[in-house]
């Protein structure tokens, strides 16, 4: 529990309990009548938030029964019902106090409030799930707010907002793994989304393997594999052909682009090194196999494969295989 003003700091409790919001001495918290407090219908934390689990609330209630509510809650006047309040901050403390059988709870009235305040507080305490954050952003966007405005309101970067917006409209295969809890990392979901837009069937098949771990490393390997698989294998033209737009031959253009080409080759070497350390399982002619990444393929778009059942080794076009799993070596 967070430190704060406790019941022992509230002076004479008999005076505080005289009314539903009797003022405490020295500007301390009020003793608010629990029966007059309503939870915010737009509370950013949903019912399946771990902080609202029965076990978590039972533990909190036991602590409150023993020591009281140490940190006052914050409420605002209910605009629809005079004399009642809506919780700004402290829904868990309120629920725990209910379970502990308290009739009153220490609190402050703060009518200078907006919905972003709850999100900011819970974000700083890491108590909101990615889905809850996304739902809040969705509501703010529906009100006409811009992403940059939302980012500023909750003290997060525009990239943070954009990543969570992705969660609002996931294709079914990605929504299934996210909603089931197989992947909770928002960055991983966005990486999968990028790959899915390019090769939806491959990504769907990869996610369909329930034993496949979905981590930053495995998704990175998946994207590198799919990018390597999709490289064109066209024939090269005569290097002395003059380009109609630039007026240069292909050989001259290649010489001018040599530094960039060298950088691309270096990047490709890094990717190939990473792929060699991975174990790539595929299906070829309905038979399971793995890519032999330590053997040079005959051409771009091809690879050496080895069947899992009989150990036969052969060359095949990457377009003829279906990715099953990527395991980090």
Burial of 271 from C-beta contacts in 10 A (0-12 / 13-18 / 19+): middle
Domains and CATH numbers, the chain: 7-113 (3.90.1530.30), 115-169 (1.10.10.730), 183-231+268-329 (2.30.30.150)
Rounded-to-integer distance, Cα 266 and Cα 285, Å: 34
Which of 8-17, 101-110, 226-235, 303-312 shows the highest mean pLDDT? 101-110
Quick: pLDDT tens for 137-171: 999 899 999 999 988 887 778 888 998 999 998 99
Q: Do 191 and 203 form a contact (C-beta atoms < 8 A)?
A: no
Find the length of the chain: 329
Q: Residue 236 pLDDT more than 90?
A: no
What pLDDT was estimated at residue 265? 55
Q: For tokens 């900011």, what's the residue?
A: 120
Burial of 66 from C-beta contacts in 10 A (0-12 / 13-18 / 19+): exposed
Paired tokens of 167: 């969660």
Average pLDDT over the chain reads 76
**Three-class DSSP labels, 45-88:** CCCCCHHHCHHHHHHHHHHHHHHCCCCCEEEEECCCCCCCEEEE
Q: Tally Cβ neighbours within 10 Å of residue 185.
A: 15
Rounded-to-integer distance, Cα 4 and Cα 68, Å: 12
Q: Residue 133 pLDDT more than 80?
A: yes
- Lowest-confidence segment of 44-58, 187-201, 203-217 by average pLDDT: 44-58
Paired tokens of 32: 């608010």
Q: Do 317 and 301 form a contact (C-beta atoms < 8 A)?
A: yes
Cα Rg of the chain, angstroms? 30
Residue 193's pLDDT band, with cuts at 50, 70 and 90, is very high
Q: Tally Cβ neighbours within 10 Å of residue 234.
A: 7
Q: Residue 293 pLDDT more than 90?
A: no
Paired tokens of 89: 């901050």
- Lowest-confidence segment of 29-43, 110-124, 297-311 by average pLDDT: 110-124
Q: Which helix (H) or strand (E) holds 37?
A: strand 37-38
- What b-and-e string marks burial along 286-310, b requiring 16 or more CB atoms within 10 Å of the CB? eeebbbbbeeebeeebebbbeeeee
Residue 32's pLDDT band, with cuts at 50, 70 and 90, is very high
Per DSSP, helices labelled H in 51-199 are 54-67, 91-99, 115-124, 130-142, 147-153, 158-165, 172-179, 186-198
Q: Do 148 and 177 form a contact (C-beta atoms < 8 A)?
A: no
The sign of the torsion formed by the CA atoms of 268, 293, 226, 164 equals negative
What pLDDT was estimated at residue 15? 36
Quick: pLDDT tens for 64-98: 898 899 889 989 999 889 999 999 888 889 999 99
Residue 247's pLDDT band, with cuts at 50, 70 and 90, is low
Q: Residue 325 pLDDT more than 90?
A: no
Cα 56 to the center of its chain, rounded Å: 23
Mean pLDDT of 254-260: 57
What pLDDT was estimated at residue 18? 37
């Amino acid at each position: 529990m967070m430190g704060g003003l406790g019941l022992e700091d509230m002076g004479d409790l008999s005076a505080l309990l005289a009314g539903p919001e009797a003022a405490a001495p020295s500007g301390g918290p009020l003793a608010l009548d629990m029966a007059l407090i309503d939870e915010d219908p737009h509370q950013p934390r949903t019912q399946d938030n771990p902080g609202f689990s029965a076990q978590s609330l039972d533990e909190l209630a036991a602590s409150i029964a023993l020591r009281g509510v140490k940190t006052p809650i914050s409420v605002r006047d209910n605009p629809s019902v005079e004399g009642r309040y809506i919780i700004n901050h402290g829904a868990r403390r309120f629920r725990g106090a209910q379970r502990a059988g308290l009739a009153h709870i220490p609190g402050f009235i703060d009518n200078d409030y907006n919905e972003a305040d709850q999100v900011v507080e819970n974000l700083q305490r890491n108590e909101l799930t990615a889905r809850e954050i996304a739902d809040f952003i969705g509501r703010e966007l529906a009100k006409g707010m811009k992403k940059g405005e939302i980012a500023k309101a909750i003290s997060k970067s525009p990239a943070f907002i954009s990543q969570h917006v992705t969660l609002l409209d996931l294709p079914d295969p990605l929504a299934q793994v996210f909603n089931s809890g197989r992947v909770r990392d928002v960055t991983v979901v966005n990486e999968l989304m990028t790959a899915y837009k390019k090769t939806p069937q491959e990504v769907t098949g990869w996610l369909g393997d329930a034993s496949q771990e979905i981590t930053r490393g495995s998704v990175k390997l998946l994207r590198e594999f799919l990018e390597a698989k999709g490289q064109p294998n066209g024939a090269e033209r005569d290097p002395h052909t003059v380009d109609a737009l630039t007026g240069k031959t292909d050989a001259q253009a290649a010489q001018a682009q040599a530094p960039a080409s060298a950088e691309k080759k270096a990047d490709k070497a890094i990717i190939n090194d990473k792929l060699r350390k991975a174990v790539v399982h595929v299906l070829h002619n309905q038979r399971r196999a793995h890519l032999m990444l330590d053997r040079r393929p005959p051409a771009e778009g091809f690879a050496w494969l080895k069947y899992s059942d009989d150990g036969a080794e052969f060359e095949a076009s990457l377009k003829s295989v279906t990715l099953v799993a990527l395991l980090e070596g």
